[in-house]
Structure 1
Amino acid sequence: MRESSAEAFFEQDGRARYVPSGYTRGPWAADSQHAGPPAALLGRAVLRREDAREDMLLARITFEITRPVPLKPLELATRVLREGRSVELVEATLTPEGGQEVMRARALRIRTEPDSVPEVVSGPVVAPPESSAAQPFFDVPWEKGYHTGMEFRFASGSFREQGAAACWLRMRVPLVAGEEAAPLDRVLIAADSGNGVSNVLDFSRHVFVNPDLTVHLHRYPCGEWVCVDAATSIDGAGVGMAESALHDERGPMGRGVQSLFVSARP
């Protein structure tokens, strides 16, 4: 089985083997995944490992995408790199069967104590999803993919306009078949869309590759919707950066940053 038919992004096949469905397919290549679903799968692994502490929040996670993530079964592994009383560092990896590692995550988790300090939140207000508009996705040459596994509503901008934009995203299907989506699943599957939401150059004439993604969170999202309020900057030498403020309907909850390799299409 190379591609799952489940109504989910992944189907679990054994303890640490995950089979992607067509919903993971990205918009650029028919045999490669959008980075959002595997990023969420790695974040899920960090929280669900057997020795994971329940009193910690994932405050920062950095994904390194060393190769395109194929639509093939993936082996998932985790290990604790540093364990302390208040902070821990955890690593998770994805490797296709018989292949080389394609994606690695390092997550920093911080000990929490509810209501121990005053809450301070700062950031702009984004129009809520119910008053935001559904906008067409940019042209994709296949029917099923990330663009159909997710729902998109724009508070400002659109996929077909260039420049900064704010987009609410909601999962249409679970991350893993038979499971309810967790709050961390919802934010990590959305955060890698910052570059696409805030595109500044013509996709038909330029290649955009983000070899990494870093997400910082001061809390997990509430509800089903996550907003990616994104802006992209590109240097003439072909190096860029997409920065995203991450919101839920309660307000700001974190930020995402992607490094970009940009070049003219051959």
Structure 2
Amino acid sequence: MTNQPFFTRDRDAYIPTDAARGPWDPNSLHGRVIIGLLAFAIEQRHGADDFVPARLTVDMFRLPTLAPIEVTTRLVRDGLRIRVVEADFFSGGVGMARASCQLLRKTQDPQGQVWSPPNWDVPAPSDIPAPTDPRLGMNGKWATRPIVGAMGTVGPRRLWMSEVRDLVEGAALTPFVRVAVAADFASPFANAGDQGLGYINSDVTLYLHRLPVKEWIGFEVVNHHATDGVAIGECFLYDQQGAIGTSTVAALAQRKPMAAQRPAP
């Protein structure tokens, strides 16, 4: 990729670039790059080809500035079939987010049939014209191919998303990092209403039964509910071969502009 990455490196520190700025405060990071960088560090230090990162949960309890980032990891459990890793995200030396990742060893499926939702039947990304509105890709944060509906519309919402830049300079996107960076999109896609997006997500939980095989990730909104300013949203995730998992978020009512700290849940 030739676009500016979200982070460069300075020894053990990750330095945010302008591309990493988020929508809530121009001097803060986008949630997607927080999630992606935690996934990147976990995979780099603890991943293995025979393990699937089946669950990644990221709690985002403060909104980081553009200060240098450090990520620490800790191996909680390294069993034969289950590996559990925790990671902490520090911005300017202050803890801003924390992740927990469960990696499961690949094996054979048991015999028998189990019901699953039917696969979605949608056009391939190459068969959908690129949108002309730059806001659909947040002005160059990602590429989209809308399928049906849009944020704020009533009814089904589906689209394809692809990254247009690397997360960390000099490190090609792996399938896990690619889907981890994209997972945060479940919040605006599921939680935006006819007056725009009024919720800021405080976490993301990504469930995967397999990793995506190509660059496009499909999102299908399947749930949104809110009471007293607390919302949940959920999307099914796909690649061009079928379903790969889900992305679920919790969110708080929020108005722009915001201070450089996420409200504590």
Go from structure 1 to structure 2 and tell me whether the alpha carbon gap of 1:133 and 1:165 turns closer, same or farther (over 3 Å shift).
farther
Once the two structures are superposed, the pairs formed by residues 223-242 of structure 1 within 5 Å of their partners are 223-242=214-233
Unaligned runs of 5+ in 2: 258-265
Q: Which moved more, 1:222-231 or 1:209-218?
A: 222-231
Give the residue type in structure 2 aligned to 1:45.
A
Q: Distance between the aligned counterparts of 1:23 and 1:109, measured in 2?
A: 30
Q: Distance between the aligned counterparts of 1:189 and 1:233, measured in 2?
A: 21
Asked if residue 85 in structure 1 is aligned to residue 44 in structure 2, the reply is no
Asked if residue 168 in structure 1 is aligned to residue 160 in structure 2, the reply is yes
1:255 aligned residue: 246
2:28–2:63 CA contact under 8 A, matched in 1:
yes
Asked if residue 96 in structure 1 is aligned to residue 76 in structure 2, the reply is no
TM-score of the two chains, using structure 2 as the length reference: 0.85
1:241–1:257 CA contact under 8 A, matched in 2:
yes
Q: Distance between the aligned counterparts of 1:95 and 1:201, measured in 2?
A: 35
Name the SS of the counterpart of 2:195 in structure 1.
coil
1:164–1:232 CA contact under 8 A, matched in 2:
no
Once the two structures are superposed, the pairs formed by residues 196-211 of structure 1 within 5 Å of their partners are 196-198=188-190, 199-203=192-196, 207-211=198-202
* % identical equivalent positions: 28
How many residue pairs match? The answer is 250
Q: Which moved more, 1:19-28 or 1:128-137?
A: 128-137
2:200–2:254 CA contact under 8 A, matched in 1:
no
Pick one of 92, 112, 125 that aligns with 2:106. 112
Q: Distance between the aligned counterparts of 1:160 and 1:153, measured in 2?
A: 17
- Once the 2 structures are TM-superposed, how far is the Cα of residue 36 of structure 1 from its aligned partner? 1.0
Tell me which stretches of 4 or more aligned residues in structure 1 moved more than 4 Å: 115-122, 263-266
Go from structure 1 to structure 2 and tell me whether the alpha carbon gap of 1:53 and 1:179 turns closer, same or farther (over 3 Å shift).
closer
1:191–1:228 CA contact under 8 A, matched in 2:
no
Pick one of 39, 64, 68 that aligns with 1:69. 64
2:49 aligned residue: 54
1:163–1:231 CA contact under 8 A, matched in 2:
no
2:28 aligned residue: 32
Unaligned runs of 5+ in 1: 1-5, 140-144
TM-score of the two chains, using structure 1 as the length reference: 0.84
Go from structure 1 to structure 2 and tell me whether the alpha carbon gap of 1:232 and 1:29 turns closer, same or farther (over 3 Å shift).
farther
Give the residue type in structure 1 aligned to 2:26.
A
Q: Distance between the aligned counterparts of 2:17 and 2:44, measured in 1?
A: 21
Q: Distance between the aligned counterparts of 1:189 and 1:210, measured in 2?
A: 14
Go from structure 1 to structure 2 and tell me whether the alpha carbon gap of 1:128 and 1:33 turns closer, same or farther (over 3 Å shift).
same
2:151–2:193 CA contact under 8 A, matched in 1:
no
- Once the 2 structures are TM-superposed, how far is the Cα of residue 112 of structure 1 from its aligned partner? 1.1
